[in-house]
Structure 1
């Protein structure tokens, strides 16, 4: 399973099915295959897929599936929406990684979550991947902070996708919590028209991705 190139990963992830009836309140968008492939490939190069991988707010299962395709042996997708979890499970089976992936319904913003990872060295022994809500909807403001807080409680390393202009916030939060941003890069996040408040047929958002090492 290991050794796939970033381009190969992106091509395989193109078969991931999108939401049929996405929820605007949950900001359910398909994580672009190119971004998921970039994150999973980088995580593989950093040996971060050797730990259990947790995809917080998994949605379609894009990041969880990408991690499994890139060589992760144990992947858990977490989402509040049971329909999303059913879709994620179908997507994992579609690309042949059902045996490496498990799924659990839970609210990422509420602690403690109904699972934990532990090792002899640290209680934070997972790698977290997450595309949290960007906070575009009124009830989701600061949702990305809640996802970072949960990642901090679970992970030795996290990869999270944020709206453009988030670097100062992520670096400041990480520093306050004993973490260090080791990698940061921008990524195009194309979205198709799916909600009534969308005025264009398609739009390309500028996103930022951060890898954080947590102490």
Structure 2
């Protein structure tokens, strides 16, 4: 099992979005947060020897972090073709030898069927928070997909989401086993951003699905 800070250093080479789409709420997952989430998953035995699925992978940060920790395979699902092209480039930058399958698809309708009973599935995701008009409840749809695919999931949500996430998990037969706060430092990406950087308070949840 590797060191979290070493993993963060490896992920520092991952390039972000060239042309971020506001309708998809495309904000990059910072290397430190990705390393924290993947390291926790590794400590819990949720990476090694498993299939890891990154829903809404963007440019591949969480998928590549997981790939560096010894899963059987990694699947990155992303709707934006341009972001997926960057993810493939990032795979070469990171240099992992784990098989990674990049799939262009709507992550809330992921065309996946994990049928290998010998390999359990972990979902990692930084879903849209539903902050944009017409995108309300986007994280709910991602959680629903995770519940259908995974034995366990790790997801990043806006601060104040714990009651919603715990209630949703319980309704789907799941249980929140770990939760912690994390601050995402985001660089200016869109014209309506007034500052060069902004700190966004979030919460990360591990859910065990039955």
Would you say same fold, with TM above 0.5?
Answer: yes
Matched residues, number: 209
Q: 1:163 aligns with which of 137, 148, 158?
A: 158
Q: Please give the alpha-carbon distance, in whole angstroms, between the structure 1 residues aligned to 2:17 and 2:68.
A: 21
Match of 2:128 in 1: 133
**Does the CA contact (< 8 Å) of 2:169 and 2:175 recur in 1?**
yes
Q: Please give the alpha-carbon distance, in whole angstroms, between the structure 2 residues aligned to 1:27 and 1:44.
A: 27
Name the TM-score, length of structure 2 as normaliser: 0.95
Q: Deviations over 1:126-152 (max 9, x none)?
A: 100000011111122110000000000
RMSD: 1.4
**Does the CA contact (< 8 Å) of 2:74 and 2:98 recur in 1?**
no
**Does the CA contact (< 8 Å) of 1:157 and 1:214 recur in 2?**
yes
Q: Please give the alpha-carbon distance, in whole angstroms, between the structure 2 residues aligned to 1:115 and 1:162.
A: 23
Unmatched segments (≥5 aa) in structure 2: none
CA displacement at 1:120 relative to structure 2: 3.9
Match of 2:76 in 1: 77
Shift >3 Å, 4+ stretches: none
Q: 1:148 aligns with which of 137, 143, 146?
A: 143
Q: Deviations over 1:173-201 (max 9, x none)?
A: 00111101011000010111110111111
Q: Deviations over 1:73-121 (max 9, x none)?
A: 30000000111111111101111125421100111223xx322102448
**Does the CA contact (< 8 Å) of 1:57 and 1:130 recur in 2?**
yes
Q: Please give the alpha-carbon distance, in whole angstroms, between the structure 1 residues aligned to 2:134 and 2:92.
A: 33
Write the mapping of 1:32-51 to structure 2, written as runs, cut at 5 A: 32-49=30-47, 50-51=49-50
Q: 2:208 aligns with which of 182, 207, 213?
A: 213
Q: Please give the alpha-carbon distance, in whole angstroms, between the structure 1 residues aligned to 2:128 and 2:114.
A: 24
Are residue 104 (structure 1) and residue 103 (structure 2) matched? yes
Q: Please give the alpha-carbon distance, in whole angstroms, between the structure 1 residues aligned to 2:124 and 2:81.
A: 19
Q: Please give the alpha-carbon distance, in whole angstroms, between the structure 2 residues aligned to 1:84 and 1:37.
A: 20
Match of 1:14 in 2: 12
Q: Please give the alpha-carbon distance, in whole angstroms, between the structure 2 residues aligned to 1:104 and 1:120.
A: 22
**Does the CA contact (< 8 Å) of 1:186 and 1:209 recur in 2?**
yes
Are residue 172 (structure 1) and residue 167 (structure 2) matched? yes
